[in-house]
Amino acid sequence: MGMLVGVVAETAPGERRVAMAPGAVAVLNKTGVEFVMEAGAGLRAGFPDSEYVEKGVRIAAGRAEVFRSAEVVLQVRGLGANPETGAADLALFERGQTVIGFGEPLTSPAAARQLAAAGVNFLAMELMPRITRAQSMDALSSMATIAGYKAVLIAADSLPRMFPMLMTAAGTITPARVLVIGAGVAGLQAIATAKRLGAVVSGYDIRTAVKEQVESLGARFVVLEMEAGGAEDKGGYAKAMGEEFYRRQRELMGGVLAQQNVVIATAAVPGKKAPILITADMVGRMAPGSVIVDIAAERGGNCELTRPGETVDSGGVGIMGPLNLASTIPYHASQMYARNIATFLKYLIKDGKLNLDRDDEIVRETLVTYAGEVVRE
C-alpha cells in the first residue's frame, strides 16, 4: 500500500472550502499516494463523497480515523488559521505526522509551538516562496484571485448605480468609476472583473513596475506625483515605506478618491498590519452612495474606518470589510487550492515516500515545525 494522505472537513466557523477536490486527486496518480477522507468533507464546496469515491478515495468512519491512519493530513485552515475550533484536533494528531495547510505562521506563533509539542511537521501554504518553480503551488495567489473577483461583485451589488454605460430609451446611463488600490493578484483580478462589468477602471500601486499589467487590462494607471524609489522588495511584494511617504500619498490620493464611485482596496504587506491608505478625511470627500470594499480587512484594513466583517456607513459612503472571501466561492476556491496543495505534495514525494529535504528552498521556506521543534524563525 502507498503513502496514505488524509483529508478532513474544515471546522473553522463559516469555512466552506475543502483541501482536496476530486479533480486534483489525479495530480498524485503516479506517486503511489492513497487518499482517506472524512465523510462529507467536500459537501459545502459542492463535491459529494461519490465524486471522491470514483477517484479512488476511501471514505473514513470519522475524523479521528483520518488522523489515526494518515501519514500526511491536508487542511485549508490548520490550527493557527482556526483559533476558534482548531485546538480540538491537537489530541488527534499522531507524532511524526505531517500537516499541510494555511496556518497564519507569521501571526500565531503559539499554534506553531503547540504543533511542535504534538510532534507534528507543519508546512504552511502562506510561506510558499514566490519563485518560478513554486508558482503552481502558490495558494495565496489562488485565493487572492477569487477575493479580487468577489470584491467587485459585492461592490456592484451594493452600489446604487449600474457599472456599465447603457444607451436606453430612458436616456444614457453613465458608467461607474472604479479605483482599485494595490495591483497584486487580487487587485489585477478586481480590475479585470470591474472592466468586464463595464466600469471605467483605474488602478494604483506604489510599485510603478505594475503599470503595464494594469494598462493591459484596460485600466488607467494612477500616477501620484511623488518619489517612490524602491517600493518593492526582492520577493516582488510591496514593502512598508516611511511615514512622510504615506502622508504625501494620502494627500494626493484624496483627490483621486473623491472622483470614484467604488474603491476596492487590496494592499497588504505579508505578515504585517495592512497599511492605512484611506483616512476618514478622504472618505469624507467621497460622494454619498459610494462604496469602499476593503479586502485587506483581515489584516486590519486599508481604510481607517474599516471594521473587519462589518459594513460601516460614513456620511452615506459604505465601507465593507468582508472576511474570507475565498470561502464564499468554495467550489472554485477548493479546486484551485487543491491543485496547489497536490502539486506541492507531489513535489515532496520521492520514490513513494515523503522527503522533507531541508536544503531545498521550497521545503525550507514553508516548514514551520519539524521533529518537535519550531524550525522557522
Q: Which residues are catalytic?
A: 130, 135, 138, 141, 237
In 3D, which of 331, 337, 325 has the Cα closest to residue 44? 331
Q: How far apart are CA 224 and CA 59, in angstroms?
A: 56
For 185, the 3-state DSSP assignment is helix
Question: What is the sign, positive or negative, of the torsion defined by CA atoms of 234, 240, 243, 245?
Answer: positive
Query: Grid coordinates standing for 181?
Result: 488600490
Asked if 376 and 127 touch (Cβ cutoff 8 Å), the reply is yes
In 3D, which of 341, 362, 372 has the Cα closest to residue 127? 362
Kind and range of the H or E run holding 124: strand 121-124
For 190, the 3-state DSSP assignment is helix
Strand 373-374 versus strand 166-168 pairing type = unpaired
- Angle in degrees, CA 236, 330, 339, rounded to 5: 55
